[in-house]
Structure 1
Amino acid sequence: MTLARLAPAIFVLLWSTGWVVAKYAAFFADPLTFLVLRYAFAILLFIGFCVVTGARWPRSWTTISHAIVSGMFLHGLYLGAVWWAIGQGVPAAISGIIAGLQPLMTAAVAPFLINENLSRLQQIGLVLGFLGIALAVLPKMVAIDTAAMPIHLLPVVVNVLGMAAVTYGTLYQKRHLQNGDIRAIATLQYAGALIVTVPLAFALEDLHVTWNLQLVGALAWSVLGLSMGAIALLLYLIRRGQVSRAASLIYLVPPLAAVQAALFFGEALTLPMIVGTIIAVAGVYLTNRKAADPAPSGDRASKAVAS
């Protein structure tokens, strides 16, 4: 098995654990404050990793600025919006459906920004994946007692804006950062994330942190498993192929997170969630299949640059 074959599965497994980490971390730290700590430790570890492994830092200020800007969208605005919205009462089920919008957003915008078009079969796969996500999480959303836990419009809108941010960040990464050492790029991206998250944390939160073993464990996994492992794999997938294919993997995250919640927290794993997961897997498979028709010239050019 090569990394190219294993990377999608490893990415989904790692990224889906973010829901579990978020549930633990919320008891011990404000969401944005936790993200500031996560990004800061990620930068320090990435710098050390770059030094030990001899990473090549970009010499062009243009490349440096592109890396920082992409990090502002991919990490700062995306995770900041999602974590803040969940902290304001947006249920995980609704947030999961909103997350399912990201692959559709990417596929809709990619032809205009980076000249990347999908085949009819891949388009069907994207829609099928979203339907699977909706089937998996809608029953939980309907079951929410809105009287006990009112859902305000602003956090939902912020959650949607977070999906728009990661969509733009993914396309920006594909368009402007096809070259350069991924290790150095990732380090600069977390610097961009801090530029966004630090002022938001000071403006919106009390910077509450309760240091204990649970928080340290959640922070360690967030940095090593998510900020380093999962994001490095995502950047690798974006660089190797179509961004719409890489984005389609997000469809698998909410169902897997539901399975993990059932295992770790005893939450019910319903038949619609199981069936929806199967449908989402089928949609991701169709989206990631290699089309029989030749790729558009723009897509071939981008892949040539990536190689």
Structure 2
Amino acid sequence: MPLSRWLVPVLAVLFVPLWASGFIAGKIATGYLDVPAVLVWRFAIALAVMLVAAAVLRPARPEGRAWLHLAVTALLLQIGQFSFVYTGLASGVPAGLSSLILGMAPLLVGLLTPLLLATRLGIAPVAGLLIGAGGVYVVRAGDLGGGLGWAVVLPVLGMLSLTAGTLYQKRFNDRTPVVTSVVVQMATSLVATLVAWPFLGADWLPSGTGGWLAVGWLGIVNSAGAFVLMFLLLRWRSTVFVSSLLNLVPATTALCAVPVLGEPLTPQALLGLAIALVGMFVGLGRLPGRRRPLADPDDDAADAPGVPATPR
């Protein structure tokens, strides 16, 4: 396709920083708002954007149990993941470390897929997971993760929620139109957060302009915009291609956090990031000398484990 020949590289270059920006904006937002309020505004803004998209595209509605499956996925991927991640950010966990830990979810998905989804798995994902875990340890042992105590467990729980939600999405929601899936999940997440609101004691509104800008970025750019790019790339390429881009997110987040958030980036942290990236590439079979043609996005072989199939 002549259009995608030049458009795909452009979208790929834009996709990585937009996806990584969610950790930066999340860190800023939790400085102005309580975590429940960050969630409410993220879900509300993203839902408004996706409702406009649904009005234009008119995707098919879920039928029968599909509604329930989408709701369960929302509780795992949206409520579970972001509640833990944002609470960790608010408790002092650096954005770079949070991104690195959540960046291991694709490998964990690959490791669990043959057990839960009856899909064959080679040795590469197992080796990649172990290498990536070593990278997380190196980063955690340096200044980037020092002195966090219990708070470092929060992004780990967020990563587990992301993994569980991804597996559930792959198992039950594969045939649901993307826009429909996003709308239902955002609506479910918003309702669940509002129901719990009386018990959370959080303030509604950001305390300054920076808070509004942060939640606006999370809702429009990170929740909606980054996923528009992701879905276009999945249509024109494959999940393997998108997986390769997701491997770059942890390092991008850590580098951007230096000037934006003032987070330290020590040589030890850089080494840990490099090790984790190697582990992710190994786990996804993207080693030099083992190149293979990118599969068609509609091919079952292209839908290999390793890419979260729902929005972040």
TM-score (norm 1): 0.77
Select which of 26, 33, 49 maps to 2:30.
26
Select which of 37, 41, 44 maps to 2:41.
37
Three-state SS of the structure 1 residue aligned to 2:59 is coil
Select which of 95, 119, 137 maps to 1:134.
137
Three-state SS of the structure 2 residue aligned to 1:286 is helix
Indicate the residue corresponding to 1:13 in structure 2. 17
- Contact kept, 8 Å, 1:55 with 1:181, in 2: the verdict is no
Matched, 1:171 2:167: yes
Three-state SS of the structure 2 residue aligned to 1:115 is coil
- Counterpart residue identity of residue 40, structure 1: A
The more displaced of 22-31 and 69-78 is 22-31
1:82-129 CA distances to partner (integer Å, 9 max, x unpaired)? 212332455556645643553443233211211233322333233323
CA RMSD, Structure 1 to Structure 2 (Å): 3.6
- Counterpart residue identity of residue 182, structure 1: V
- Contact kept, 8 Å, 2:35 with 2:87, in 1: the verdict is yes
Indicate the residue corresponding to 1:224 in structure 2. 220
TM-score (norm 2): 0.76
> Quick one: structure 1 residues 128 and 241, their matched pair in 2 at CA, closer, same or farther if it must change by over 3 Å?
farther
Three-state SS of the structure 2 residue aligned to 1:61 is coil
> Quick one: structure 1 residues 232 and 203, their matched pair in 2 at CA, closer, same or farther if it must change by over 3 Å?
farther
For structure 2, the 5+ residue unaligned runs are 293-298
- Contact kept, 8 Å, 1:103 with 1:248, in 2: the verdict is no
Sequence identity percentage: 29
> Quick one: structure 1 residues 94 and 226, their matched pair in 2 at CA, closer, same or farther if it must change by over 3 Å?
closer
CA distance in 1 between counterparts of 2:113 and 2:120 reads 7
Three-state SS of the structure 2 residue aligned to 1:118 is coil
> Quick one: structure 1 residues 254 and 66, their matched pair in 2 at CA, closer, same or farther if it must change by over 3 Å?
same
Matched, 1:73 2:76: yes
Once the two structures are TM-superposed, the CA of residue 48 in structure 1 deviates from its matched residue by 0.8
- Contact kept, 8 Å, 1:93 with 1:138, in 2: the verdict is no
Three-state SS of the structure 2 residue aligned to 1:289 is coil
For structure 1, the 5+ residue unaligned runs are 294-298
- Counterpart residue identity of residue 174, structure 2: Q
Indicate the residue corresponding to 2:113 in structure 1. 110
CA distance in 2 between counterparts of 1:292 and 1:286 reads 12
- Contact kept, 8 Å, 2:247 with 2:280, in 1: the verdict is yes
- Counterpart residue identity of residue 125, structure 1: G
More helix by share: 1
Matched, 1:195 2:211: no
The more displaced of 134-143 and 112-121 is 134-143
1:277-302 CA distances to partner (integer Å, 9 max, x unpaired)? 33333333333337899xxxxx9589
> Quick one: structure 1 residues 103 and 156, their matched pair in 2 at CA, closer, same or farther if it must change by over 3 Å?
same
CA distance in 1 between counterparts of 2:224 and 2:266 reads 32
Once the two structures are TM-superposed, the CA of residue 228 in structure 1 deviates from its matched residue by 0.8
Indicate the residue corresponding to 1:296 in structure 2. none
Once the two structures are TM-superposed, the CA of residue 232 in structure 1 deviates from its matched residue by 4.7
- Contact kept, 8 Å, 2:132 with 2:277, in 1: the verdict is yes
